[in-house]
Amino acid sequence: MTMQARIDDELRDGRAIARVEGEIDASNVAWAGSRLRRLLTNRSHVLVVDLAETTYLDSAGIAMLFELAGDLRLHQQELRLVVAGSPIARMLVLTGLDHAAATHPTVDAALQG
């Protein structure tokens, strides 16, 4: 956890879920990316990242999520983002991140795919 962001995680039916609260920017993006990647194993098929409580995501954070989505695809894994109610939802559309990773209104919807 950094002063700007907190990432809580859980496993549900073998699928990793990360809830990101606060801000992801250039000052903590390396920590956030590393933290998200550590949730995956060789047996993981899906990583759900809940951004509903993410209040700020700068270009470094967007780039990290693009890279994570691409890396997961290479390993036949999938990044799913939860963005309903998040102030950053529009940014994901403007940057095209919603095409690199599926977006969902809730964690349950993301888990169902």
Q: What single-letter amino acid sits at 85?
A: G
Domains and their CATH numbers in the chain: 5-112 (3.30.750.24)
- Where is 51: in which H helix or E strand? strand 46-57
Q: With contact defined as beta carbons under 8 Å apart, do 35 and 16 qualify? A: no
What pLDDT, in 10s, does the model give residues 70-82?
A: 999 999 999 999 9
Report the DSSP beta bridge partners of residue 10: 17
Over the stretch 22-35, which tens digit does the pLDDT of each residue have?
Answer: 999 999 999 999 99
| Amino acid occupying residue 94 | L
Q: Phi and psi (nearest 5°) for 110?
A: -65, -40
Encoded tokens for 97 = 């991140």
pLDDT digits (tens, 9 = 90+) for 32-69: 999 999 999 888 899 999 999 999 999 999 999 999 99
